[in-house]
């Protein structure tokens, strides 16, 4: 499990870059601890989240998500959330590089809070 501390400034309009690794066939979870520019916990009370990964995005073509992460606020007031994929979903991923982003929204306002690359690595062992 990956745990990342990030600073979120809604006024900047800039997402925080975080690269991740997923092992095929394993349960995946990445946790985020979000602080404001004042270095206090960002309050996500009333927010919802969504996140997807895709192989690539290119100009003039449509890119479809290959996986949709579950987004859970583990402490909305404390600025903590995670994204996850089950082992069944990661088992179906093809080895390679992907891109992803995480969106959070409050009402009609949507922020791209995190984005980056995902390296999907194949496993050599199988679960018992």
Over range 93-119, report the average pLDDT.
95
Question: Running DSSP on this structure, what letter comes out for residue 27?
Answer: -
Cα distances (Å, whole numbers) of residue 65 to 19, 27, 29, 68, 88: 17, 19, 18, 7, 16
**Percent of the chain at pLDDT exceeding 70:** 89
Which tokens in the block code for residue 89? Answer: 């979903």
In a domain, residue 84? The reply is yes
Whether pLDDT at 86 is above 60: yes
Q: How confident is the model at residue 64 (pLDDT cuts 50, 70, 90)?
A: confident
Give the C-alpha separation, 96 to 1, whole Å.
19
Domain residues for the domain of 110 are: 2-121
DSSP-assigned letter for residue 12: T
Q: How many domains does the chain have?
A: 1
- Asked, for residue 126, whether it belongs to a domain, the answer is no
Distance CA 18, CA 10 (A): 17
Q: How buried is 126 (Cβ within 10 angstroms: 0-12 exposed, 13-18 middle, 19+ buried)?
A: exposed
Q: How confident is the model at residue 123 (pLDDT cuts 50, 70, 90)?
A: confident
pLDDT at 59 over 60: no
In a domain, 127, yes or no: no
Quick one: which H or E segment has residue 90? helix 87-91
CA distance 99 to 17: 11
| Residue at 108 is within a domain | yes
Confirm whether 115 is domain-assigned.
Answer: yes
E strands, the chain, where? 2-7, 16-17, 20-23, 28-35, 48-54, 67-75, 80-85, 96-106, 109-121
CATH of the domain at 92: 2.60.40.10
On whether residue 128 sits in a domain, the answer given is no
């Amino acid at each position: 499990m990956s745990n990342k501390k990030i600073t979120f400034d809604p006024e900047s309009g800039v997402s925080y870059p975080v690269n991740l690794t997923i092992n095929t066939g394993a349960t995946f979870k990445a946790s985020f601890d979000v602080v404001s520019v004042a270095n206090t916990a960002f309050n996500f009370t009333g927010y919802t989240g969504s996140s997807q990964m895709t192989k690539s995005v290119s100009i003039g073509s449509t890119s479809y998500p290959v996986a949709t992460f579950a987004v859970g606020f583990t402490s909305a007031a404390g600025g903590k959330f995670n994204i996850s994929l089950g082992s069944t979903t990661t088992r179906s991923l093809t080895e390679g590089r992907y891109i992803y982003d995480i969106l959070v929204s409050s009402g009609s306002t949507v922020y791209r809070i995190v984005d980056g690359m995902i390296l999907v690595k194949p496993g050599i062992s199988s679960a018992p």
